[in-house]
Amino acid sequence: MTTVLSVDDVTKRFGGIVAVDGLDLAIEEGELVGLIGPNGAGKTTTLNLITGFLDPDEGTVSLNGEDVTGASPDAVSKRGIGRTFQISKPFGRLSVYENLLVPNVSCGPAEQEARIERLLEELQLEEVRENRADELSGGQKKLLELARVLMLEPDLILLDEPAAGVNPVLMDDIMDDIRRINANGTAILVIEHDMSVISELCERVVVMNAGRNIASGTFEEIRDDEKVREAYLGGT
Amino acid sequence: MTVLETLRSGIARTGDRLVEDARSRNGIVFAVLALLALLAPQLVGGYTLDLLTQLIIAILVVTSWIFIAGYFGMFSFAHAALYGIGAYATALLAGKAGVHPVLAVLLGGVVAGIFAIPIALPVLRLSGAYVGMATLAFAEIVYRLAIHFRGLTGGPTGYTGFPPLLGGSRLALYYFVFALVVVLLVVQYGLLVNRFGLVARAIREAPDAARMLGNNVPRYKLVGFVVGSAIAGVAGGLQIYTVLIISPPMIEVNRMIEFMAMGIIGGLRTIGGGIFGAVIVFGLNEGLRDLGELRLVIWGAMLILVTIYFPDGLADSSLDPRDRLRELLNRE
Ligand SMILES: Nc1ncnc2c1ncn2[C@@H]1O[C@H](COP(=O)(O)OP(=O)(O)OP(=O)(O)O)[C@@H](O)[C@H]1O
Ligand SMILES: [Mg+2]
């Protein structure tokens, strides 16, 4: 197996707060990994460090073996990383269709068109294709963000809380979509507070607390881990 | 795709969109206005024709501000200053360096584009109100420098030592301005209906997402800011030939507020909004000239009415009262 993403001993401070503290994290090709941890554990900050929205104070981030520490988000995207945001960021006044034209694809216009049609169908956005993105429901916005990322056919997708604000019926669909995307060979890292989502989806789960990787294993393993219990009960 | 292919498909798309938009309500309004503008010299002359020339120039300034503020969401207060830099550059190049006036107008645009770079660099890193503050500071510095460097700019009383454009013919100037403005409107329109405009709008809505989808957002914003500013510089160069003087009042913050009022009243979502806004505000301004400072009150009232009843400006709102009422009642 080859390693798609490797975060090595990364630290990020905001003034006095150490948001990420000597973090190690690796994702292998085709894996579906869950990243959990209490509020403020540093999960979103970790995504920002991987995708170049923040520069680490210490440590390195590598993608497919290449050091990308300090690279810009667009450069990281070009290296095959897709990402959605904890708070959806649709292009509100653009139509759903126009939203899918924004990803800077490397293929030609015909292939781009074909991808858009396929994704509109697969992610059930066909009926709202001409609607403005800010008219969509919370769940549809998540689907649109996923579709936008898939336009780029990335090797690894980072999902920041895909279940937040989504109704349970649509969430089942989104989970099926995540499984299908992963089955096609795309590695996925999913941050989620909803443990049923994590336990159903992920073959491996990483637990963060206070900026550190405190446990890693199957859902059953980390559920029975003493350090994980302590972290969730508030003691650090 | 090669550069040539991109250019060719971009031009083809611009043509298609132009044909499509020409059939819309605004398209018809603009066609009628253009026809009237072409015939105007048969109907009016003298001072009125000069005013029309200035209106057409104002349209160019406002559309180029919409290019930056409406599409990218960079709410710049530096636009009137960059328009002024273009004006001073044109006047000095033509008056002191002996450059041909037509070339001086185009070079005025280049100079404004170059001066836009140092102000664009901080703007790329800022958002919201901070963009306003940084650009306002820049505008104030330009205004002070124009007054301070008397030897170069003529100081507070301005500079008049440049030759007229096209031999000083009012009619020739009018048609020259009209033609150049139409060309530059089409250039802006062409950029905005292609990928450049799509990414600009995406950046306005969610810059981080646009970036994470592989678009070099700082580069887009830099190009947008510089191109819009260069076009304002050309407008400044044209303006000095209608008033035959360049002086600091041309770049005061009041002028900026006037351009912004035009943009907001007309609508920031399309280039056409600049045409609506400039015609309405300019028309009112001239029509109500006798009222003096009271005009500011009328503008203020108009701005409030438009932002309440036509949040997308006049160009992008249906003018049917039933639609207006419906939208007002449905708003969250
Ligand atoms: N830009 C910032 N400036 C200052 N502090 C920050 C910044 N971003 C995050 N933090 C702090 O870093 C810590 C980690 O935040 P982060 O958002 O990464 O947590 P999280 O694990 O994603 O939490 P949640 O589950 O609530 O989303 C928190 O204490 C947060 O307040
Ligand atoms: Mg978070």
Are B68 and B159 contained in the same domain? yes
Q: Which amino acid is at A45?
A: T
Cβ <8 Å between B211 and A74: yes
Q: Which ligand is nearest to the CA of A39?
A: 1
With respect to residue A57, please indicate whether it lies within any of the assigned structural domains. yes
The dihedral through the CA atoms of A103, A108, A113, A119 has a sign that is negative
Residue B55 φ/ψ, nearest 5 degrees:
-65, -45
Task: Supply the pTM of this predicted model.
Answer: 0.92
Name which of B204, B214, B269 is nearest A74 (Cβ-Cβ): B214
With respect to residue A135, please indicate whether it lies within any of the assigned structural domains. no
Which pLDDT score, from 0 to 100, does residue A231 have? 82
With respect to residue B269, please indicate whether it lies within any of the assigned structural domains. no
Mean pLDDT of B18-35: 87
Name which of B198, B202, B208 is nearest A53 (Cβ-Cβ): B208
pLDDT reading at B322 higher than 80: no
pLDDT digits (tens, 9 = 90+) for B145-204: 888 888 787 778 878 888 888 887 889 999 999 999 999 999 999 999 999 999 999 999
| Secondary structure (3-state) at B69 | helix
With respect to residue B295, please indicate whether it lies within any of the assigned structural domains. no
With respect to residue B208, please indicate whether it lies within any of the assigned structural domains. yes
Q: Does B325 touch chain A (CB under 8 A)?
A: no
Are B21 and B150 contained in the same domain? no
Strands A81-83 and A32-36: unpaired
CB A48 within 8 A of CB A86: no
> In the structure encoding, which two tokens stand for residue B253, read together?
């913050």
Ligand 1 in reach of A12 Cβ (< 6 A): no
Are B84 and B172 contained in the same domain? yes
Which pLDDT score, from 0 to 100, does residue A82 have? 96
pLDDT digits (tens, 9 = 90+) for A154-170: 999 999 998 888 888 88
With respect to residue B272, please indicate whether it lies within any of the assigned structural domains. no
Are B30 and B59 contained in the same domain? no
Ligand 1 in reach of A86 Cβ (< 6 A): yes
Are B113 and B246 contained in the same domain? yes
Cβ <8 Å between B213 and A149: yes
Cβ atoms within 10 Å, residue A87: 10
With respect to residue A67, please indicate whether it lies within any of the assigned structural domains. yes
> In the structure encoding, which two tokens stand for residue B267, read together?
């609508």
Cβ <8 Å between B211 and A91: no
Are B87 and B190 contained in the same domain? yes
Name which of B204, B206, B212 is nearest A73 (Cβ-Cβ): B212
Chain B residues close to A104, C-beta within 8 Å: 213-215
Quote the minimal CA–CA distance from B215 to chain A in Å.
Answer: 6
With respect to residue B300, please indicate whether it lies within any of the assigned structural domains. no
pLDDT category at A31 given cuts 50, 70, 90 is: very high
With respect to residue A133, please indicate whether it lies within any of the assigned structural domains. no
With respect to residue B232, please indicate whether it lies within any of the assigned structural domains. yes
Residue in this structure with the two tokens 């009041």, named with its chain if needed: B254
Between A233 and B226, where is the model more confident? B226
Q: Does B217 touch chain A (CB under 8 A)?
A: yes
How far the first Cα of chain A sits from its last, in Å, is 34
With respect to residue B196, please indicate whether it lies within any of the assigned structural domains. yes
pLDDT digits (tens, 9 = 90+) for A86-109: 999 999 999 999 999 999 999 989
Residue in this structure with the two tokens 């160019």, named with its chain if needed: B60
With respect to residue A206, please indicate whether it lies within any of the assigned structural domains. yes
Which pLDDT score, from 0 to 100, does residue B332 have? 46
Are B84 and B195 contained in the same domain? yes
Are B27 and B78 contained in the same domain? no
Ligand 1 in reach of A41 Cβ (< 6 A): yes
Q: Does B324 touch chain A (CB under 8 A)?
A: no
pLDDT reading at A234 higher than 70: no
With respect to residue A50, please indicate whether it lies within any of the assigned structural domains. yes
Domain assignment of residue B218, given as a range: 47-251
With respect to residue B311, please indicate whether it lies within any of the assigned structural domains. no
CB A103 within 8 A of CB A151: yes
Are B70 and B39 contained in the same domain? no
Look over chain B and give the mean of its residue pLDDT values, rounded to a whole number: 88
Q: How many domains does chain A have?
A: 1
Which pLDDT score, from 0 to 100, does residue B228 have? 97
Q: How many domains does chain B have?
A: 2
With respect to residue A109, please indicate whether it lies within any of the assigned structural domains. no
Give the Cα separation of A49 and A70 in Å (integer): 8
Cβ <8 Å between A53 and B210: no
Are B7 and B131 contained in the same domain? no
Which pLDDT score, from 0 to 100, does residue A147 have? 95
With respect to residue A194, please indicate whether it lies within any of the assigned structural domains. yes
Domain assignment of residue A219, given as a range: 3-89+154-231
Closest CA to B83 of B161, B160, B142, B170: B142
Are B76 and B207 contained in the same domain? yes
The size of the A-B interface in CB pairs under 8 A is: 72
Which pLDDT score, from 0 to 100, does residue A183 have? 94
Cβ atoms within 10 Å, residue B6: 12
Quote the minimal CA–CA distance from A70 to chain B in Å.
Answer: 14
Span from the CA of A19 to the centroid of ligand 1 (angstroms): 6
> In the structure encoding, which two tokens stand for residue A111, read together?
């292939």
CATH number at residue A199: 3.40.50.300
Give the Cα separation of A144 and A15 in Å (integer): 35
pLDDT digits (tens, 9 = 90+) for B68-125: 999 999 989 999 999 999 999 999 999 889 899 999 999 999 999 999 999 998 888 8
> In the structure encoding, which two tokens stand for residue A70, read together?
């300090």
Are B66 and B33 contained in the same domain? no
